[in-house]
Amino acid sequence: MAEMMKADMAGFRKAAALLQAGELVVLPTDTVYGLAGLANSPSAIEKIYQVKSRPGHKALSVVVFAPEHANRLVRVSPLAQALMDVFWPGALTLVLPALNPKTGNLPTFAVRCPDINWTSAFLDIGFAEPLVLPSANISGQPAPITATQVQAGLGGKIPLILDGGTCNEGHESTIISIDGKRAKLLRTGAIAPERFAAFDMDLV
Name the band, by pLDDT with cuts 50, 70 and 90, for residue 107. Answer: confident
175 close to 157: Cβ distance less than 8 angstroms:
no
What does the chain come to in residues? 204
113-127 pLDDT, tens digit per residue, is: 988 889 999 999 999
CATH superfamily label, 3-203: DHBP synthase (3.90.870.10)
β-strands 174-179, 182-187 pairing: antiparallel
**CA–CA distance, 11 with 31 (Å, rounded to integer):** 20
Q: Where along the chain do its domains lie? A: 3-203
178 close to 92: Cβ distance less than 8 angstroms:
no
State the pTM of this model: 0.85
Which DSSP category does 5 fall into?
A: E
120 close to 126: Cβ distance less than 8 angstroms:
no
pLDDT of res. 38: 94
61-79 pLDDT, tens digit per residue, is: 899 999 999 998 899 999 9
End-to-end CA distance of the chain: 43
